[in-house]
Amino acid sequence: MTRFNTFLKTGLLALAAAMALPICADAAVKKKHHAVAHVAATHSTHRTSHARPPKAARHVVLRNGSRGGIKRVSSVVRFEPARPSFGQLYGLHNTADALDLKSSVALVLDADTNEVLFSKNSQAVLPIASLTKLMTAVVVTEANLPPNEMLTVTEDDVDTEKNSRSRLRVGTTLSREEMLHLALMSSENRAAHALGRAYPGGLEAFVAAMNRKAHELGMNDTHYVEPTGLSSRNQSSARDLATLVQAAQQYPIIREFSTSPQYEVELGHRPAQFRTTNALVRNPAWDIILQKTGFINEAGRCMVMQARMAGRKLIMVFLDSAGKYSRIGDAERVRRWVSELPAHAPVSLPKVAS
């Protein structure tokens, strides 16, 4: 009798568990849909360039099948919402402008006369992402260090702040000149960090030299804490960055490397092809003298250039652009507008749409 009672209790517990399983599964499905709706409502369009996007967490829901079995249903990929840019937090995107630019900060000036052709929030101080590497290049170039000295990527050069991707594995050895080329053309973070680390006195001395140079150039809104731009504490204004472009373009090696469309180096025993981060370099409609792009979430998409157009040599600065291709679109808007201006005539902007 005791064995029968035990068997009966076991059977009843199994039956109860089987009946409860669909309820639990339905609750899990409802919870899944609630999570997806929450993510859809809060997910930002920003992603981290030159930096890895947030990792996806894959959730798998199990439910009771028609024959009582358990089967796998479609998984749900969730992304942590990206942080808004500083420009968004400051409300700079609410500023209307005559050219309808998507960058919250912009500056266009004549490099020969310093005449300002266009200005939008140009005094705002924002993170500048990999535009930092222009100052890194200036400090390295002015130090007159041996260009053929071999530098090796170490664990110290691995980005632990943004977890940015790099094709330069720990142990990769390249010349200082090759590292500079990749830092300017492909915005290679490990290359830029290695350049700073290999400076006489080390990284701390290098960052001090960056800030000293900024002060020397009169870049009073600018401050650096590291040589890559991955830190949002590297900050500047559009006016200061125009000054930096003027200083950097004096060096042929910076002009050449920043406008190189592609470059091949030996990684181990195999050749590796690197490409520019700026699509305009390959565009025949553009005559670019110097350029640099940058992106972290806090900075938005950024770009500086010096280019020849319509008989002028112009410096253009675009900060905190909101879309993947919007800084390119902004540059094209400026080029079309400048091309329609009479040569050397006073600049007259179109009226801002109400």
CATH number for 225: 3.40.710.10
Name the band, by pLDDT with cuts 50, 70 and 90, for residue 351.
very low
**Beta 287-296 vs 300-309: how paired, if at all?**
antiparallel
Could you give the CA distance from residue 40 to residue 72 in angstroms, rounded to a whole number? 23
39 pLDDT above the threshold of 50:
no
Name the band, by pLDDT with cuts 50, 70 and 90, for residue 296.
very high
Q: What is the mean pLDDT of residues 282-310?
A: 97
More confident residue, 40 or 251: 251
Domain-located, residue 285: yes
CA dist 12 to 1, 3, 15, 23, 24, Å? Answer: 17, 14, 5, 17, 18
Domain-located, residue 145: yes
CA dist 142 to 18, 26, 139, Å? Answer: 75, 66, 5
Could you give the CA distance from residue 287 to residue 284 in angstroms, rounded to a whole number? 7
166 pLDDT above the threshold of 60:
yes
Cβ atoms of 289 and 259 within 8 Å: the answer is yes
pLDDT at site 223? 98
Domain-located, residue 234: yes
Name the band, by pLDDT with cuts 50, 70 and 90, for residue 48.
very low
Active site annotation includes 130 = yes
Of 102, 135, 137, 136, nearest to 120 by C-alpha is: 102
Q: Which DSSP symbol is given to 261?
A: S
284 pLDDT above the threshold of 60:
yes
Q: Which of 102, 120, 133, 162 is catalytic?
A: 133
Domain-located, residue 12: no
Q: What is the mean pLDDT of residues 208-212?
A: 98
Domain-located, residue 183: yes
4 pLDDT above the threshold of 50:
no
Name the band, by pLDDT with cuts 50, 70 and 90, for residue 324.
confident
Q: Which of 166, 187, 231, 236 is catalytic?
A: 187
Q: Which of 85, 122, 130, 237 is catalytic?
A: 130
3-state SS, one letter per residue, for 221-253? CCECCCCCCCCCCCEECHHHHHHHHHHHCCCHH
More confident residue, 59 or 97: 97
Name the band, by pLDDT with cuts 50, 70 and 90, for residue 344.
low
Backbone angles phi, psi at 115, to 5 degrees: -70, 130
Cβ atoms of 315 and 109 within 8 Å: the answer is yes
pLDDT at site 81? 57
Q: List CB contacts of 346: < 8 A, sequence separation 6 or more.
A: none
Name the band, by pLDDT with cuts 50, 70 and 90, for residue 291.
very high
Domain-located, residue 205: yes
pLDDT at site 8? 43
Active site annotation includes 120 = no
Active site annotation includes 119 = no
pLDDT in tens, 135-164: 999 999 999 999 999 999 999 999 999 999
Domain of 206, in residue numbers: 86-339
Burial class (CB in 10 A: 0-12, 13-18, 19+), 227: buried
Of 255, 263, 321, nearest to 294 by C-alpha is: 321
82 pLDDT above the threshold of 90:
no
Name the band, by pLDDT with cuts 50, 70 and 90, for residue 348.
low
Name the band, by pLDDT with cuts 50, 70 and 90, for residue 323.
confident
pLDDT in tens, 246-272: 999 999 999 999 999 999 999 988 999
Of 275, 274, 297, nearest to 53 by C-alpha is: 297
Could you give the CA distance from residue 276 to residue 168 in angstroms, rounded to a whole number? 16
Domain-located, residue 316: yes
Domain-located, residue 9: no
> Mean of the per-residue pLDDT values for the chain?
82
- For the chain, give the percent of residues with pLDDT over 70: 73
pLDDT at site 269? 84
34 pLDDT above the threshold of 50:
no
What residues pair up with 119 in beta bridges, in sequence order? Answer: 107
23 pLDDT above the threshold of 90:
no
pLDDT at site 342? 74
Query: What's the distance, Cα to Cα, between the start and end of the chain in Å?
Result: 90
How many folded domains does the chain comprise? 1
